[in-house]
Amino acid sequence: MNAARTHHLTADILQDEAQLRALIGEPAPLTCAKITDRLNAATRRFVERSPLVCLATSDAAGRCDVSPRGDPAGFVRILDDRTLLMPERPGNRIADSLRNLLANPRVGLIFIVPGATDTFRVNGRAVLTTDAALLAPSTLEGKAPRLGLLIDIEEAYTQCSKAFLRSHFWDPARFIDPAELPTGGEVHRAIQGEAFDAARYDAERAERYRRREGFY
């Protein structure tokens, strides 16, 4: 760790799991019992009803990345109880997740269902596939994905509701006005300087989104 960035740290840093367990304790046996290596009739419903998944990957050096993946509910297809297929839609082409998978196949997924406070976690391994026949059922708006993630499940289990309950995530009374956050153009201007035309950038992006350009 860079010494210039550790001035705020103290000596009270945990070094191993024994210290961690002494602080937080052990998980309950029933909690551990829910972790399995496949889907079942109950947990399949989380995958089938989820329109939003957070995908975590890391590169060969362990540098991590997490990104959202979204489509109509059920877009992550269940091929069997131990295999999932996630279509890859057009993005910004930085391709952090995809490049990571070429170096390190391990993935973590969290399936989120609107209105539900329980989520569903899957950990496993993924490969990138261009199999046209396999990807064809994921066609949307007349466009089949050119690429997909074929995921072998190693761990699958529900995540308790506490994070969503503590955050009041689904409470409309807590929703903020998007105007309170910077626009994409304003973020660019903060990085590139006042000469950057934030309004033009935002208007052009809004028009592309209105036309659904690059969605599929």
The ranges assigned to domains in the chain are 27-167, 176-210
Task: Give the integer Cα–Cα distance in Å for 87 and 64.
Answer: 21
**Residue 85 contacts residue 40 (beta carbons within 8 Å):** no
pLDDT at res. 145: 98
- Whether 6 shows a pLDDT value over 60: the answer reads no
Average pLDDT of the residues in 161-177: 97
What is the model's pTM? 0.93
Give the confidence band of 2 by pLDDT, cuts at 50, 70, 90.
low
> Phi, psi (5° rounding) for residue 55?
-110, 120
Residue 78 makes CB contacts below 8 A (sequence gap 6+) with 39, 44, 47, 48, 84
Per-residue model confidence (pLDDT) at position 4: 54
Strand order in the sheet with 77-80: 64-70, 52-58, 106-112, 119-129, 147-159, 83-88, 77-80
Q: Which CATH architecture has domain 27-167?
A: Roll (2.30)
Structure tokens at 130: 């261009």
Give residue 158's pLDDT. Answer: 98
Band of residue 79 on the pLDDT scale cut at 50, 70, 90: very high
Relative to beta strand 64-70, strand 147-159 is unpaired
Q: Cβ-count burial of 54 within 10 angstroms (0-12 exposed, 13-18 middle, 19+ buried)? A: middle
